[in-house]
Each structure stands twice: as C-alpha cells, then as structure tokens.
C-alpha cells in the first residue's frame, strides 16, 4: 500500500517536473526525528504535515519540524479550536497513512496551509506519501506544489530557533 501512495505522489509531482525530488529510504522517516536522521539535516527542516479536524474534512498545516500548533493563533486564524484528527480519520481525510501524510494530491476533504515557521529555510523536506519517503523543495515550491491556500502564522516554539 505504501508503494502505491508514493507512486501517487510521484505522478502528482510529474505535473510540476519535480518527480526527481521524491526520495525513498530503507529506514523509517515517519517522525521528524527519524526523517532528520535519514536525511542528515536538522529536525526543523522537516516539513511536518499536521492534520486537524475541520467540519467534515481537515486542515493540513505544513510546519517546521520544531514548531508546535499555538492554539490561540490557530483559533484566531481558523475560528475553531485546533483538534488533531483521530487516527482512524487520518488516511480517509488526508489520503495518506499516519507517518506518511503529505501535502500533495490530497482529497477535496483536505485544505493545505503552509506555516511561516518554514520560511527561514532555503529547502525543506515534507513526507512523500509513506513512512519512508520525502520530497526536497524550496518553501515557494512547497507552497505552489501543495496548492496551499495561504501562508499562516499558527505555530509557536520556533521563533527563537532562527536558522
């Protein structure tokens, strides 16, 4: 199943001539820490996809690996409390399993937003559809390819970590 999800991402990235940016590993990259180890980069450069409940669908916030959702900022931006998707809803609403959620080729139930915590890096690494894949992109490429609705400022704990 994970090979199938990675192929979906690869096919999607072909539309942008970026399929060569997709990397697959023999090791797990399912968490920020594991992905950073595999890529040999600082954890903050891992662009994690945080899946949150929004009505019948979800909001995917793509944020730096060292950032955490700030409930107050999130509520101000989205008008609702930040609530992680229950595990059983992650794949149906995002299109991908836990550990491989990415901001590419998501179903219409998912809206993607990029958090400003990523903008301090020249390149970031979001997941590639499985727990052992990722994609190397600039922040602007990520914004474009993910079809992000807009840049948001809904995270905390990264501001003092300027790169």
The pTM assigned to this predicted structure is 0.95
Instruction: Give the chain's residues under pLDDT 50.
Output: 163
DSSP state of 86: P
User: How confident is the prediction for the chain on average, in pLDDT?
Assistant: 95
Instruction: List Cα–Cα distances, 151 to 34, 61, 143, 146, in angstroms.
Output: 26, 10, 8, 12
How far apart are the C-alpha atoms of 51 and 60, rounded to whole Å? 5
pLDDT at 1: 62
Domains of the chain (ranges, CATH numbers): 2-149 (3.90.960.10)
Angle ∠(151,25,20) on CA atoms, nearest 5: 60
How far apart are the C-alpha atoms of 118 and 124, rounded to whole Å? 7
pLDDT at 151: 98
């Amino acid at each position: 199943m994970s090979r199938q999800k990675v192929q979906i991402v690869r096919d999607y990235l072909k539309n942008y001539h970026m399929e060569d940016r997709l990397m697959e590993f023999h090791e797990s990259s399912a968490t920020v820490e594991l992905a950073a180890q595999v890529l040999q980069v600082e954890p903050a450069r891992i662009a994690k996809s945080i899946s949150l409940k929004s009505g019948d669908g979800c909001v995917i916030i793509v944020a730096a690996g060292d950032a955490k959702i700030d409930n107050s900022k999130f509520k101000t931006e989205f008008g609702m409390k930040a609530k992680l998707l229950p595990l059983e809803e992650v794949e149906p609403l995002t299109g991908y399993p836990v550990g491989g959620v990415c901001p590419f080729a998501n179903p219409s139930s998912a809206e993607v937003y990029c958090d400003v915590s990523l903008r301090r890096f020249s390149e970031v690494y979001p997941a590639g559809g499985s727990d052992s894949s990722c994609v190397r992109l600039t922040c602007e490429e990520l914004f474009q390819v993910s079809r992000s609705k807009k840049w948001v400022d809904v995270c905390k704990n990264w501001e003092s970590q300027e790169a």
